Structure formats: C-alpha cells, structure tokens
Amino acid sequence: MWIESHANLRSHKKLIPFAQDIGLENAHAIGHLHCLWYACLEQAEDGDLITWDNRAIAELAGFKGDANKFVKSLQRHGWLDMKLVHDWLDYSSKYLISKYSTSNKVILKQIWAKHGKNYGTTKKVPKQKGEPWDKVPQERVREVVRAYIDLKGWDLDTTDMLIEVIKRNYKTARRLFQLCKGDLAEVTKAIAWTKETQSHKGLEWKLDTVGKLLPEYMTSKNKAKVVW
C-alpha cells in the first residue's frame, strides 16, 4: 500500500501558509499531510472523509493541537475540499489502478467520478443536459451539513447526534447545494456570510436562515439573485 510523494511539495505555494497557519515548520506540516494521506488510503481510499469528524482527521494526521483549527486550515489552504481530499488521484491513482484495474473497475469509476473525472481519461465528468443539479449525491448534502456544523462550532460527541442533525437539515442542505449550482465552496461561503451577518446583528441563525438570505448574499457577491 503506497501513495505518490512529489518532491515539489516542500516548496508548494499552499504549503508555507498552511504551515504558518497551524504554527509548524514546513517539514512537520508535510509529515502531517502524508500521515493523513496514509490514513485515507487505509480507511477511505476514495479520499472522501465525510464520515470523519475533525478530531479523527487531526488524530489520523498525527496533529496534537486544535483539531477544528487544523481541519479549517486544511480547507482554507486547499488541501481539503470540504471533506474531500484535494487532488486525491494525484497521490493515489497508480496504487488504486494496480489494486482494482483487473478485478473491479467499477470501484475505480466510482472513485474517479467522486473527484469529477472519468476513469481512463483526464476529462471531467460532463454535466447532464438541462441538469440544474437536481440529482444531488448524498455525500455532498452531508458535506453541506458538515460545513454548517463546523461554522456553528458544535462538537458532536456521537455518530447518532451527527445523523440526527443531518436528518433535520437534509432538505435545506440539498436545496442550498442546488441553488449554488453544486459549488460546495460557494455554499460554505454563504453559510459563513450568514453567520457573520447574523452575529453582527446579535441574531440567532440556522441553515434555513442561509437559504432565506441567499439572494442577499448573492447580491453582495455581484451574482444573480436566487429565489428561495
């Protein structure tokens, strides 16, 4: 079991600010990234960490500091796309192909599709004609809810608690994903903007609030208004 490790990682433009953000030397930050990738290959070979909470991600990466800060820094600096490992196939594709190419190509197709690619090509998966993101994968909806949980600052102790929050917010999260045209980064920005706006006014907010304020958010970002 192995991953690719590229020499240019030590001078990568994302590495230095990431290392500074978590208060470590560049070499130590590289070590934490590799530990995380090793854990992914062992326990989440598709690179999707949606079922891992922040504490698990930090622990498996060997990071002993603030888990929430660590994961947010990974996301902020482009090492994680929500809970999906950024450019995961750059590190894992050769191993995954050697493991499944003759025994189970279906798994390879599923993993490649999760990262927006067609197995066997470098092309991105084309969108279906006329599809306004009607068909939303469950894992993407869960990632929206995860972003909401993180920005709320909730520390959910059990899987049951997480499942309950996902159930209560599933429809709203799905709708937000659709309205943001499948852009998880945009959904996260909308949630963060709502948190900041409501907190500044001393008002409570929920995921429903993000949907209601989405047109205002879009306007503030010089984008077309969206009907909620």
Give 131-165 pLDDT, tens digit per residue.
444 567 777 888 888 888 888 888 766 667 777 88
Looking at residue 27, its pLDDT comes to 96
> Average pLDDT of 120-128?
53
Tell me, what amino acid is at 96?
A: L
Tell me the domain boundaries of the chain: 1-126, 138-220
